[in-house]
Structure 1
Amino acid sequence: METNPTQKHKDTPVGKESALKIAIVGGGPRGLYSLERLLHYARQIAPQRIRVCLYDTSGQPGAGTVYSPKQPAWLLMNYSSKNIDAWVRDDMGSEDPMSPESIRHDLENYPSLVQWLDKHHPEMADPDQAIPRAIAGEYFRDCYAQVLREKPENVSFVLKSATVKDVVRQKDRWAVMTVEESQEYDEVLLSLGHGANVGSANPEEWFHPHSYESRVGMSQNRTKHLVNSTYPVAAQLSEEKVQPGSKVAIRGFGLTFIDACLSLTEGRGGKFKQLKTGEWEYEMSGHEPEIIYPYSRTGRPMLAKPDARKVTRSPGLSTIWKRGKEQLRKLESSEYGLDFNSQMKPILVETAAEALRVQQGEKTKEGITSTFRYDEPSSDSMLSWLAGWSGGTVFPVDIWNRLTDSYRTATGLRPADEAWAIAETWRELYPALVERISYGGLSEASWELFQLYAAEMERIAFGPPAESVGKLLALIKSGLVELRFLTGSPVAFVKQHPLESQSELILRNDQSQIIVDSIVNAVLPASQHATEGSLLYNLLQRKTLSRFRNTGGIAVDHETNALNEMEHAVSGLSVVGRPTEGCVLGNDTLSRTLHPESDRWAKRLIKSFTQTNSNMQMKLKNEELLKEHSDTLINQA
C-alpha cells in the first residue's frame, strides 16, 4: 500500500542539518557514472554529510536492464570495446585517491573495458571486437562495486529495488513514490535510459491502430499472439509464445529485429558457421519458426559497422576528420541558431567525399584495393547516393544488395564506397555535432530536416557489428527470413470472422497477403515517447517537465536542471540520458567524454550544498553574535 505522499519525512531539511538527501532513479551505466561523480566530489567536502539512494529494478546496478549480465551471449554490442571506459581519466593534479590522475594509473582497480576483458575474458580483449552485451554488463557491475568500495565516510548509501511511479514536489523537497512507500529528497536525478517508458504495454500503441478489424480481434483475446516487446528475449521469445514451425511477422528491421532473429534461431540451438570466403551459413536445429517476415515503414536496413581488424584506414583520414570537426566548431550562428541544410550538411558531404578520395587505393588486410572509377568522389556523388538511399521504391533485391555490400565492405572483402565514407564521416564528426547542436544550437526551422537526416544516419552509421549482418544474410539465404513485406506499405492486423469465434493475424502489403501465427514488436519506443502511466508521462502531464521546443526531448539546461515550459530551472530535479534526446544530441551512448552531464550535475550539487551550508553557518554565527551582544546589553543594564 502506497504511503501518503504528504507525510513528513523523519529527516530534518538540509537547512537545519548538514545532510543532503539525493535520489538517483535508474541504475544503468548513466546512473553509475552519476553516482561515481557524486561520490568523487562528496569526498572533497567531508565531513559534511550526504545520503544517497539509488532506485534500480534491474537487479544488476551499474549494468541496468540493457546490459544485464543475465542475457544471452548472441546479443552483441554495436560499439567497439575500445570506446568504453567507466572512469574519468583527465589529469587534474589532485591528491585525492579517487582523482582522475590516480585512476589513470591504478588500472587494477579502475580498468577500462579492454583492460578488464584482458583479465576476466582474455579471448574477447581485442579492442576492436564487438562483445556480448552481457559481458559489458559484468564490467559495469564490477565498476559499480568498486565505486561503493571507495565510498567516502561522509556518504551513506542505500539501494532500493523498487519502480518509481511518480516524483512530486512537497514544499522544499521531492517525494519519490513507489508502490510501497514515499520518501523525500532534496535532489532527484532521473537517469532512466530505455527504462523511461515503464508503464502499460498496450498493443494498440503499435499494432495497426486504424483497423476496425484489429480492435475487434483484440477484444476476442487474440493479444496472446501479439508479443509487445522483444526483451527480455528468454521470456518474450520463448517457444510457448513463438512456437517452433510457426509463421512469425516481426515489426521493425533494425537492431532489435536482429536480436529477435538471432534469439529465434541461434537461441534455439541453431548453428552459424563462418566459411573461408568470409560468408556465414546457418544449420537449423528444428526449433526455429518456419519462416520470419520482417515488416517496417521504410524497408531500409541498418548497415554493418566496419571491423577495424579487417579494414585498413588511410593514415590521411585523421587530418580530414580533424578539419571537418574544426569547420563545424567554427560555424557562425545567427540569433536563431545554426542552419543544418546550408551550414552543416555541406561540411558533412564534402568531408565524406574527401575521405573517400583519400581511402581509394588503400589496401585492406585481405589485399583488396579500390576499383577504377570514372567519376572522382565529390559532394554531388555523396548527395546522389543519399538520394538513392532514401528515395524511390525499395525491392527485396535492393535490401539484399545493400546488406551484402555493407557486410563485404565492413569485413574488407569489398573496397570503400559512398556508404562507407558517409558513415565514417558521421561517426568521426559526431562529437562536434553534439557540441554545436545540443541545447538549442540548431535553429527550430532546421530541426525537422536534421531529424530526417539523423534518422538515416542511424541506419547507415550506427548499425550492428559486421558479424550480426553476416548472420542475417545467412538466415535470408537459407529461406528462414523472407524480405518481401519490407516493401509496398506493409500492415499487420487481426481479421475476425463474423460468424465464428476464430480470428486470424494478417500481414499484408500492396502485392500480397498472408496469415501468420504471431506478431512480434521489435521497435523500441522513441526517446521522446512517454508511455501512459510511466514516470515521464506523469511529470509531463503535470507540467513539471517540458519538451524542448520542437525537438520532443525533455528540456534541460547545461547543468542538467529540468526546465519548465517557461524554460526556467526546476529546483532540485535533474534529468540525464536518453529522454533528453533532442535537447542534448546523441545521449544514447556509453561515452563519458562525449556527454559530461553526470560530472556537471554532481559538481553543481556539491557546490550548491557547500554554499548553502556556508550561508547557514554564517547565519547561525551572526545569530550567536547578536545574542551575545543582546545578553551583554542586558547585563550592563
Structure 2
Amino acid sequence: MNAPEVRVAVVGAGPKALFALQELHERLPSDARASVDVFDPAPPGGAVWDPELPAVLRLNAPAAMVDARFSGFGETLSEWIARTHPAHAGESFPPRRIVGEYLGLAFDRLARSPRLDLRHHRRRIHGLGTGPGLLDADGFDEVLLCTGHAGPGARLPEAVAAAEAGGCVDVRGAALTGLDAVLLLTEGRGGRWSRIPGDRLGLLAYEPSGAEPARIRLVSRTGAVLSPKPERRHPELGPVIDAATERIRAWATAMRGTPAGAVRPASPVSLDPLWRVLLGAAAEAAAVFGVETTGLRLWRTLLTGRPERDAEVWAGRRQAEFLRQRLEIDAGLRRPDEAWILGRLWQGLYREMVRALDRVPRTARDQRRFRAAAACQERTAFGPPAETVRKLLALVGAGIVEIRAGMPAGEFVDAVTTGPGVLRQPVPTAPEPARTPAPALQVSVTDFHDPLYADLHARGLISVRPGERGLLTDTDAACLRPDGRRTEWLACLGRPTEDPVLGHDTLDRTLHADGRRWAAAVVERLARPQDPRRNPRKEHARA
C-alpha cells in the first residue's frame, strides 16, 4: 500500500513559509510524506534576508526572538551566531545577511528530511494557469500563499548605487527602509563612527569617507521619524501593562463569548472598550512617572502622535531634538511624555491586542481610528535600534542628512515599502450608521499590489471585507470567498491578510497560530478518504 502523500505549493520563501513548513513536517504521520514546491525569485529565507546584503543593514528586531528550530535543526539564531559568527555573538541586532544565512540553513535542513521532498523554483507567480509565471493548481492538493512584502521591489543597494559622491540625493521614505538607504550611502561607503567622549547618551560623531553624497534629504509625506527602541527595562510600567492586559482579555472574551478567541462576531464591533483601556493605562503610567496630562492630550497623542496640534517638538517637527529626547527618556535623564508612554504601552499590549482583534469586523469609524493609531504608535513602539538613531543624529549634526516633509525633487531613491494587505486602498465601507458591511464593491486589477491576488479575486477564491486592505482567512489560514465559504485548498499567511489579522512584520513565530493551524488542517485533510474520480477542491481554479 502506498504511503499517503500531500502535494503542496508554497508561493514565497520567507520566514512565514519556513515556519509553516516546519509545522507541517512535525505533524506529518510517520508513514506520510509531503511533496513541496516553493516559488520565489529570492533564495530560501526571502529577499529581505538575502545573505548577499551589505553588512551595514542590520536586524531591526532583537536576535533573541528568532527561532527556526524543529526536529531537524536545533539552534536558535543567537546560539547559531555564537558558534558560527563569534564576532557578532551577543549582538542584539546582527547584520541582516547573517539572519539570511540562518534562515537558509533552516530551509536546507528541512529539504534534507526524508519526509519532505522540497524543491525551490526561482520565479514569481502572477496567477493561476498553465503558462509562464502561472501556477497550475490542479497539480497540488494545497496551495499556501506567503508572499510577504508586495510587488517586486527594487533592491536597495542597487537603488542607491547611482547617487554620486559629493552630490545631493533625496530618499523618499523616512521609515526603516529609508534609514537603510541613509546607512548604505554613508557607512556603506566607508564612513566611520566614533563615540563622543563622556556623552551620557552615547552619541556618535561621523567621519566622512569622501565617497558619500554631501547632502541626503530624507523626505516623507509627514516628515515624522521613528523613535528608537529602548535599551533598558522600565519596570515601573510592568503592573500597568499587566492590569491592562487582563482588561483587554476580559473584553475580548465578552465580545466573542469564549476565552479561546475562535468565535468571530458577525456584526461590526465598537472598539470603544479598547480605547478606554489604552487611555486608562496611559493615565496610570503618567501618574507613575509624575507626568501631568489630560485624557484629551492622551487621545490626541494616540491618534496623531502629538498631544496638541501645534506641539513645538514631536516626531514630525524638530525631529533631531525629538529623537535626542527619546534617548534621554530611556536613559532616565528626562521625564517621559505622552508619546513615549503610549508607545511603550502599545508595545507591551500589542500581543494581547493582536489576539483580541483577530478577524474581528470593526465599525467604519473604528477602522479609521485604529489605522491612525497604529500608524502613530508603531513608529514609537517598533522603531529602529537606538544605535541607528545615534547614527542618524550624527549625520544630521554633520550637515549631511536633512529630514523634511514633502515630496522629493527630481531623481530620488525610493525607500517606501509597499503597504500591507492586497489592496492599495481599503474597500469602501457602508455609510454610518449602518451596522453591517456593505457588499464588496467591484475592484480592478490596478487596485491590487500584486497581480496574483487580482487573479484570485477575479476567480472568486478570496475576499476582502469593506474598510480593509487584506484578504479574509479562517483561523487555519484558509481563504474565505465573498459568500463566506472556505477555499479549502488555498491558504494565506502574513502581510496579505493585514487588517483582519494584525502584526505581520515580525520574526516572532509565536505571535500568530495560523501557520500551526494550517499544518494541522493539511494533515487532517490528508487523512480523509478522497474520491479518485474528481477533485472538488479545485472549483473555480480554472479560468
Task: Name the TM tier (shorter chain).
Answer: 0.7 to 0.9
Shift of 1:531: 5.3
The 2-side partners of 1:532 and 1:553 are apart by 11
Deviations 1:94-123 (A, max 9, x none): xxxx3xxxx9xxxxx412222222222334
Within 5 Å, give how 1:171-186 maps onto structure 2.
178=133, 184-186=139-141
Q: For the Cα contact (< 8 Å) 1:110–1:143, is it kept in 2?
A: no
The 2-side partners of 1:180 and 1:607 are apart by 24
C-alpha change, 1:388 and 1:422, in structure 2 (3 Å) is closer
Q: Does 1:590 align with 2:507?
A: yes
Q: For the Cα contact (< 8 Å) 1:554–1:580, is it kept in 2?
A: yes
Which residue does 2:166 correspond to in 1? Answer: 245
Give the counterpart of 2:157 among 216, 234, 239: 234
The 2-side partners of 1:448 and 1:40 are apart by 40
The 2-side partners of 1:527 and 1:432 are apart by 20
3-state SS in 1 of match to 2:47: coil
Deviations 1:425-470 (A, max 9, x none): 1111111111111212534441111111111112111111111111
Which residue does 1:299 correspond to in 2? Answer: 223
Shift of 1:383: 3.3
Shift of 1:380: 5.2
The 2-side partners of 1:602 and 1:448 are apart by 34
C-alpha change, 1:283 and 1:70, in structure 2 (3 Å) is same
Q: Does 1:137 align with 2:100?
A: yes
The 1-side partners of 2:66 and 2:337 are apart by 28
Shift of 1:412: 5.1
Which residue does 2:299 correspond to in 1? Answer: 383
The 2-side partners of 1:583 and 1:177 are apart by 32
Shift of 1:193: 0.5
The 2-side partners of 1:257 and 1:116 are apart by 29
Q: For the Cα contact (< 8 Å) 1:39–1:152, is it kept in 2?
A: no
Which residue does 1:496 correspond to in 2? Answer: none
Give the counterpart of 2:74 among 110, 124, 127: 110
C-alpha change, 1:289 and 1:391, in structure 2 (3 Å) is farther
Which residue does 1:601 correspond to in 2? Answer: 518
Shift of 1:337: 4.3
C-alpha change, 1:391 and 1:138, in structure 2 (3 Å) is farther
Give the counterpart of 1:38 among 19, 24, 40: 24
The 2-side partners of 1:349 and 1:394 are apart by 20
Which letter does structure 1 place at the counterpart of 2:245? Answer: K
Q: For the Cα contact (< 8 Å) 2:495–2:504, is it kept in 1?
A: yes
3-state SS in 2 of match to 1:21: strand
The 2-side partners of 1:78 and 1:303 are apart by 12
Shift of 1:394: 7.6
3-state SS in 2 of match to 1:114: helix
- CA-based RMSD: 2.8
Q: Does 1:325 align with 2:245?
A: yes
The 1-side partners of 2:344 and 2:527 are apart by 45
Shift of 1:537: 3.0
The 2-side partners of 1:323 and 1:434 are apart by 17
Q: For the Cα contact (< 8 Å) 1:197–1:536, is it kept in 2?
A: no
The 1-side partners of 2:203 and 2:516 are apart by 44
Which letter does structure 2 place at the counterpart of 1:283? Answer: E
Which letter does structure 2 place at the counterpart of 1:116? Answer: W
Q: Does 1:86 align with 2:68?
A: yes
The 1-side partners of 2:376 and 2:305 are apart by 12
- In the superposition, the TM-score normalised over structure 2's length comes to 0.83
3-state SS in 2 of match to 1:562: strand
Which residue does 2:270 correspond to in 1? Answer: 339
Shift of 1:421: 1.9
Which letter does structure 2 place at the counterpart of 1:295? Answer: V
Within 5 Å, give how 1:156-171 maps onto structure 2.
156-168=117-129
Which residue does 2:492 correspond to in 1? Answer: 575
3-state SS in 1 of match to 2:37: strand
The 1-side partners of 2:135 and 2:372 are apart by 43
Structure 1, gaps ≥5 residues long: 1-15, 89-97, 104-108, 169-174, 199-228, 361-372, 493-506, 508-515, 617-637
The 2-side partners of 1:394 and 1:313 are apart by 26
The 1-side partners of 2:240 and 2:190 are apart by 46
C-alpha change, 1:126 and 1:48, in structure 2 (3 Å) is closer
Q: For the Cα contact (< 8 Å) 1:329–1:432, is it kept in 2?
A: yes
Q: For the Cα contact (< 8 Å) 2:306–2:339, is it kept in 1?
A: no
The 1-side partners of 2:300 and 2:342 are apart by 12
Which letter does structure 1 place at the counterpart of 2:284? Answer: E
The 2-side partners of 1:125 and 1:567 are apart by 49
Which letter does structure 2 place at the counterpart of 1:192? Answer: T
Q: Does 1:556 align with 2:517?
A: no
C-alpha change, 1:317 and 1:404, in structure 2 (3 Å) is closer
Deviations 1:192-217 (A, max 9, x none): 101x323xxxxxxxxxxxxxxxxxxx
Within 5 Å, give how 1:512-523 maps onto structure 2.
518-523=411-416
Shift of 1:305: 0.9
The 1-side partners of 2:16 and 2:350 are apart by 19
The 1-side partners of 2:173 and 2:348 are apart by 27
Which residue does 1:454 correspond to in 2? Answer: 374
Q: For the Cα contact (< 8 Å) 2:297–2:308, is it kept in 1?
A: no
Shift of 1:22: 0.8
The 2-side partners of 1:131 and 1:39 are apart by 29
C-alpha change, 1:390 and 1:550, in structure 2 (3 Å) is farther
Which residue does 1:106 correspond to in 2? Answer: none
Deviations 1:328-375 (A, max 9, x none): 1111337634422x21112112223333444x4xxxxxxxxxxxx5x5
Identity of aligned residues (%): 30
Shift of 1:415: 4.5
Which letter does structure 1 place at the counterpart of 2:146? Answer: S
Which residue does 1:491 correspond to in 2? Answer: 407
The 2-side partners of 1:584 and 1:446 are apart by 15
Shift of 1:408: 3.0
Which residue does 2:110 correspond to in 1? Answer: 147
Deviations 1:48-99 (A, max 9, x none): 343111122212x1x21011121112212221122222237xxxxxxxxx3x
Which letter does structure 2 place at the counterpart of 1:141? Answer: G
C-alpha change, 1:611 and 1:590, in structure 2 (3 Å) is same
3-state SS in 1 of match to 2:471: coil
Which letter does structure 2 place at the counterpart of 1:339? Answer: S
Deviations 1:101-154 (A, max 9, x none): xx9xxxxx4122222222223343337x222211222221222223233x244x
Q: For the Cα contact (< 8 Å) 2:305–2:377, is it kept in 1?
A: no
Q: Which moved more, 1:177-186 or 1:297-306?
A: 177-186
Which residue does 1:53 correspond to in 2? Answer: 37
C-alpha change, 1:323 and 1:532, in structure 2 (3 Å) is closer
The 1-side partners of 2:449 and 2:79 are apart by 42
Q: Does 1:429 align with 2:322?
A: no
C-alpha change, 1:152 and 1:443, in structure 2 (3 Å) is farther
Which residue does 1:510 correspond to in 2? Answer: none
The 2-side partners of 1:258 and 1:49 are apart by 44
Deviations 1:258-292 (A, max 9, x none): 11111111111111222231111111111111212
C-alpha change, 1:144 and 1:356, in structure 2 (3 Å) is farther
Which residue does 1:399 correspond to in 2? Answer: 319
3-state SS in 2 of match to 1:612: coil
3-state SS in 2 of match to 1:405: helix
3-state SS in 2 of match to 1:432: helix
Q: For the Cα contact (< 8 Å) 2:125–2:135, is it kept in 1?
A: no
C-alpha change, 1:543 and 1:410, in structure 2 (3 Å) is farther
